[in-house]
Amino acid sequence: MSPLLEAVPNFSEGRDPATVRALVDAIRGVSGVEVLDWSSDPDHHRSVVTVLGTQAGVEEASLAAARVALERIDLRSHEGVHPRVGALDVLPFVPLEGATMDDAVASARRVALGLAEMGVPVFHYGQASDPPGRGLAELRRGGFEALRDGFPADRRPDVPRGAGQPHATAGVTCVGAREVLLAWNVFVEGVGLEVVRRIARDLREVEGGFAGLRALGLHLEEQGRLQVSMNLEDPRRIDPLDVVRAIEEAVGAEGGRVTETEVIGMIPEALVLPAAEDRLHLSGLSPSRLLSHRVSRHLVERAAEDSVALRSALAAAGSDVPVGVRDAASRLLGTLLGTTTPDADR
């Protein structure tokens, strides 16, 4: 099967449905990709799309959406509670089935060149930066406004290296490569904003909290709610339930309570499995026992076996197979196995 890559573009637009639809439609218009999920938030003034597909398809879809963002989003009039430096603010590439981190880094760097050709400078982060591990917080410090008059001496874009200013309306884009992470918000009530901000600060890795956790305490004016907005870099290493318990304890000590947990984008198994095991007291729970996981694995293995049989049949039939049929079979094999039938078999 061809390697699968995920991209999770974050756009600085969460209030104009027409623009959000245009962004999603631009992605859906590219062959070889699927939009798994998208969501918008007016208080964050942000939309997040999860895209899955071939490496080439995901790269093309990312650039297609970037063009729409460049045309329709103007950061000069943008205000939201979420940090941002670009119209297409953040673009991470995530290796999935059959793909490696090197593949994700290569995609990030190719797409960065495409964005630079549009006039949008790029900062690399995560595994795509040199050296790897650059964080988003340092790149978005002060937001678009901190970059508008020129790049600070300690923050120069990676592509193009000689850029002196961000794009006038689209700012810059942070393009990275990373593993699957958990983006989530925990809503609380019965406490004030300062308490929520303090709880978020204490949770963060940089303040001695959970490893790989970034957290902000936010007030959502339109919703009239308070939330702890978080990214957990490795939900397999740090149990998300431990984070939730810490929030519950801290909020409870102040007379408040947790009311809801919201996941942005796809829900990783590392969140659901421990929660089910903990709350239901399940024994012997593992991904191999999930029906969806086993069905997917069965289908992949069966497709591989059928592909080998198809290739053998094509080779045996030789010139008796019409060219159109052989070309269609070649494309199918390329999708399933990441290869094509040799030209000698035509």
Nearest C-alpha neighbor of 211 from the set 185, 175, 239, 184? 239
Measured CA angle at 95 (ends 41, 92), to 5 deg: 35
> Cis bond leading into 240, ω under 30°?
no
82 included as an active-site residue: yes
What is the token pair recorded at 197?
A: 């901000």
Q: 177: burial class by Cβ within 10 Å (0-12, 13-18, 19+)?
A: buried
Cα–Cα distance for residue pair 341/317, rounded to 1 Å? 13
Give one word for 21, left, alpha or beta, with left for phi > 0 and alpha for psi -120 to 50. Answer: alpha
Q: At what angle do helices 291-317 and 323-337 cross, to 10 degrees?
A: 150
- Of the residues 78, 82, 124, 167, only one is catalytic, namely 82
Neighbours of 232 (CB within 10 A): 26
Q: 57: Cβ–Cβ under 8 A, 6 or more apart, which residues?
A: 30, 31, 32, 33
Residues with a known catalytic role: 82
